[in-house]
Structure 1
Amino acid sequence: MVTVKTDVRKSLDSYRARRGEFRLVEVPPLRYLAVDGHGDPNTSPGYARALEVLYPLAYALKFASRAELGRDYVIPPLEGLWWAADMAVFTRERDKSAWDWTMMLMTPHWLGAEHVAAARESVAARKPSLPVERVRVEVLDEGLCAQTLHIGSFDAEGPVLDDLHTRFVPEQGLVMRGKHHEIYLSDPRRTAPDRLRTILRQPVGPARPERA
């Protein structure tokens, strides 16, 4: 018997954000299917390939959870970690060719390594051309984060990120740590660019006291 379907966007506070509001949230450790890559997501074949392999694995896990454990859930939104040697390529220059990234889909805590291995084998058998070996499992423990909701095109994120990085975080007596994190609440294939909803998140920590 299948229980009530779980939806992390409703059960976790860290998946809630409002446009024009910066706030601090405590993000618990979460486990993800993850694929790493580099370059402009609009033109990089590796980026498209990452999504092609992530979703079949995620759905294989969902179906296994429902059939074997009686626990169903909504596939969480796509998420991405983004970084570069100079963070100005995100906030001002927007030089996408210099970006490194990790694309991720969260998996529920009740699914173990054996479920992921079985899903990997199932997808490889049905779609042998997919590079399932690129997908790894990562536990992300971000802790305290600053975040907000951006509504609009991805290319319009720069000023919001700049405000988050250079005003809000220092005003809280904090400094940035870890990687810039985005959570895509909209499907860009079905949503107009000016209506895209994206949570922009930045892990933060206490600033080191100045030496006397």
Structure 2
Amino acid sequence: MGKSDLRREITTYTAPRGRFQLVVVSPARYLALDGRGDPNSAPAYRDALATLYPVAYRLKFTSKTVLDRDYTVMPLEALWWSDDMDTFTTARDKSRWHWRLLNLVPSWLGAEDVAAARRTVARSGHAPLVDALRYEPLDEGLVVQTLHVGPYDDEGPVLAAMHEHVAAEGYALSGRHHEVYLSDPRRTAPARLRTILRQPVARD
């Protein structure tokens, strides 16, 4: 079989720049790790990345070699929340942020595949949070999303405008702020970073 590019196949992994789009996101299952604190300095965030990617690539290896079904590993995603939403839109106090890092698992792989990948990665001794890694569903349903191009620290005004748009259209925020990182910050200039900003909503 050819190599699957799920970013192209799943339409909600694209979003318009400069406007807010209302779409329905299909349920999916993810590798997930939770933590708290500034992603630029919190050791837990670094350890989560050092765990998530090895397991994701081990799953890809299993799919390719055992199932003869290769695919492109999906981009990093994260849910973000705080006791005070102003820490996202105005104050940007990252020390008060909670996060859940996510990586989508293709639908043809299941819990047994994830468990086997975890065991293999654990034996390497280089995945510090492998025991905390979960495989879990996420069903966001109706969301508003947009494409942000630029530094992560410039997201505040966009999020504030998104929340205003949601209220003006007669919706209410109904879930955690979700980001999909389409660019690799290690290889991309801050001004060119592409991030989908997503907010689950419900009729107010």
* Aligned mates of 1:82, 1:6 — CA distance in 2: 29
- Show the counterpart of 2:175: 178
Which deviates further from its counterpart, 90-99 or 169-178?
Answer: 169-178
Q: Give SS of 1:157's match.
A: helix
What is the percentage of aligned positions where both structures have the same residue?
56
Q: Give SS of 2:188's match.
A: coil
- Show the counterpart of 1:127: 125
- Show the counterpart of 1:210: none
TM-score (norm 1): 0.94
Q: Deviations over 1:142-199 (max 9, x none)?
A: 0000000000000000000000012x11122111011000000000011111110000
- Show the counterpart of 2:8: 10
CA RMSD of aligned residues (A): 0.9
Q: What displacement does 1:112 show?
A: 1.2
Gaps of 5+ in 2: none
The reply to whether residue 78 of structure 1 matches residue 76 of structure 2 is yes
**Count of residue pairs the alignment pairs up:** 204
Distance 1:30 1:50, change over 3 A: same
Q: Deviations over 1:24-63 (max 9, x none)?
A: 0100001100000000000100000000000000000000
Alignment of 1:49-88 (within 5 A): 49-88=47-86
The reply to whether residue 105 of structure 1 matches residue 114 of structure 2 is no
Q: What displacement does 1:129 show?
A: 5.5
2:3, 2:72 within 8 Å by CA — same for their partners in 1?
Answer: yes
Gaps of 5+ in 1: 208-212
TM-score (norm 2): 0.98
2:121, 2:127 within 8 Å by CA — same for their partners in 1?
Answer: no
**Matched AA of 1:59:** Y
Alignment of 1:112-151 (within 5 A): 112-127=110-125, 130-151=128-149
Q: Deviations over 1:85-143 (max 9, x none)?
A: 11110000000000000001100011111111110111111225633111101100000
Which 4+ runs in 1 deviate beyond 3 A? none
* Aligned mates of 1:66, 1:138 — CA distance in 2: 22
